[in-house]
Amino acid sequence: MFGKGSTSYEVQSRRDGRWRIEGAFTDQEASLSCARSQLMAGGVEEVKVIKFRTLAGLGLETVILHKKAPENKSKPLVLGGTAEGAPVCRTLEDLRDFESRVVIGRLLRPFLDRQRITPTELLHSWPHFRKLDEQGALLSAAIHATARHHADLHGMAVPTRVKEIRRLVDAAAAQARDFLAERKQLPVFTPHDLEETSRRIDEAVGEEGHDTLFLSLLTLHLVEGGTLGGKLDLLLDLIDDDTAPRHLALINGVMADILGSADTLKELLGPQPSLVMGLCALVDSLFGRDPDPMVPQPTMSLSRVCEMTLRGRAPLCRIVLIDRLRQALSSDQPLDRRDAKSEGALIQSLTQRLKGADGALLGGPAVAKALDRRMVRHRQTVLRDQGMHDIADRLSAG
């Protein structure tokens, strides 16, 4: 009597608090499939499917699906290490210096790796500062850890030192925010002509402001790299034999930041069957030795970095790589999990491999100490396996 009428379906999604129409359908299953796909795509807070019917001149609306995206239940980030070695920063230049960035990298490693950024990018990017603030108390925890380290080492008052560090961090964030607001009026970063980039920067802000603006522009360029390994490739592409010393020094610093990530270094070493194999690959590359057919070779990117360190063109990268070597030796991870009983022999073999043509140990006393401690731990394990716990306990790991 009233006619058959018509039926249609509309898919809506909410992003950043605002609803928008994703599509209109005549088939119910197609509309539901679209809604579920939107929900799984990420960035969507909730979806709706609304059924529209017209009957006898009347319009009827019914919500047949309304779902919210599942909440992110990931654990809150915590500090990744200690503030050991943190310099007493008094100026923004101190905060952005290599020694400070090493400590920032250690303290904020979980955050940096999740965001796939370096300490340099954090210090020059307002969006990354904002994301760090969104982590709750993580930034405050890093500041307080640094202040306590300064108190223990130099007798400084923790509250006073917290205020001083916070002031520097806020100043860095303000500069990063200003850069973002003004970047359309600032020089363009030209990857294939760094000299021209620097000439424009010097004209815009003077030589005294060159390094800060150069690194700010460089961080925008690095976004294209995606992962830290990809960013290392972009940095290496900027370098050739004619690269000016000031550019080489700035780029070397960011490369060193990348190598401070243990996960990234593992990727650069390539698939290694054991810790000792990875260390051998790194040591041989740092010495510039011919490839060992028994050891899987690292990626071309890491090989090139090591070649630069041999030529004295990447001194900060060399410092970081040797420290990563020391940390690996200081860890409790067996040199070869497949054969724990071979630990002693592997330590001796690795010690020989760590010696250069002049007999000097790569990394000097710090690496020697790590090797000694590892050998002591191995001997304690052997003694305890034989029931000689008292003797094992008396062995000094120092």
Is 356 found in the same domain as 299? Answer: yes
**Tens-of-pLDDT digits for all 398 residues of the chain?**
344 568 888 988 888 778 888 878 888 887 887 787 777 666 788 899 998 888 766 778 888 889 887 765 566 778 888 889 899 999 999 999 999 999 999 999 999 999 999 999 999 999 999 888 888 788 889 999 999 999 998 888 888 999 999 999 999 999 999 988 888 888 888 999 999 999 999 988 888 889 999 999 999 999 888 899 999 999 999 999 999 999 999 999 999 999 999 889 999 988 888 899 999 999 999 999 888 888 888 999 999 999 999 999 999 999 999 999 999 999 888 888 888 788 889 999 999 999 988 999 999 999 999 999 888 888 888 777 777 877 877 776 44
Query: At a CB cut-off of 8 Å and minimum separation 6, what does 286 contact?
Result: 306, 309, 310, 318, 321, 322, 362
> Could you tell me if 224 and 287 lie in one domain?
no
Question: Which residue, 206, 227, 259, sits at the end of a domain?
Answer: 259
d(CA 392, CA 378): 10
In a shared domain, residues 290 and 302: yes
Last residue of a domain, one of 259, 289, 319: 259
Same domain, 244 and 283: no
Rounded Cα–Cα distance for residues 352 and 369 (Å): 15
Same domain, 244 and 285: no
Structural domain including 336 reads: 262-394
Does residue 191 sit in the same domain as residue 311?
no
State the Cα–Cα distance between residues 84 and 62, nearest whole angstrom: 62
The answer to the question of residue 85 being in a domain is no
1 belongs to a structural domain: no
199 and 62 both lie in a single domain: no
* 80: in domain: no
Same domain membership, residue 54 and residue 33: yes
Work out how many domains the chain is built from and give that number.
3
Instruction: Specify whether 125 is located in the same domain as 253.
Output: yes
Measure the CA–CA gap between 234 and 383, rounded to whole angstroms. 50
Does residue 372 share a domain with residue 228? no
Based on the fold, state whether residues 62 and 147 are members of the same structural domain.
Answer: no
